[in-house]
Amino acid sequence: MSWSASLLHQTRHHYDWLDHATADVDLARATWPAEGERPSIAWQLGHILVHADKTAEAIAGLERLVTHDLCAQRHFGVADEAGWEALVQLWQRVSARTLTALEALPEAALETAPMVEIHPAFQGRLTTRREFWSGHVFHVAYHLGQLGSLRAAQGLGWS
């Protein structure tokens, strides 16, 4: 299996789990806890959304749809049911767009430099698009674990 096929399979799998993890979540559960240090489900979804969008930019050269500054907002700026639904819909749009862009990427492109400036802490490790994409896969998996913990703390199972 090629690197791009393997990474695409993992990315698609993680994005499917993220869809599943948020499908039965209402506003109260999305924005819990109201206070404290634990990021909410809404924040986790928004954070992954921003990084999926940046991955599409770094790997496939797509223009970004969202900005990183939303991550600084509690619950990713979600304040009502309409805001939560809009965030879920934006995730669906960004994830589908990202997967489509990654599907079209030629294998040889994975060994070229990412198309974005790399944060100084990662400059020595993210020198190729393959490394950047691999990092995204692990990053999403990490946040899926946090989503699972938030679901468990709220008594939500996995149907």
Is pLDDT of 44 > 80?
Answer: yes
Q: What is the pLDDT of residue 1?
A: 83
Q: pLDDT for 112-126, tens place per residue?
A: 999 998 888 888 888
Q: Tell me the fold of 3-153.
A: Four Helix Bundle (Hemerythrin (Met), subunit A) (1.20.120)
- Written as one letter, the residue type at 133 is W
Which parts of 35-97 are beta strand (E)? none
- Please state, in angstroms and rounded to a whole number, the distance separating the CA atoms of residues 11 and 102: 9
**Model confidence at 68: pLDDT above 90:** no
Q: How far apart are CA 140 and CA 19, in angstroms?
A: 12
pLDDT above 80 (res 39): yes
Identify the pLDDT of residue 107.
Answer: 93
Query: Tell me, what's the pLDDT at 41?
Result: 95
> Residue 159: what pLDDT?
61
| pTM check: above 0.85 | yes
Q: What are 115's two structure tokens?
A: 């198309």
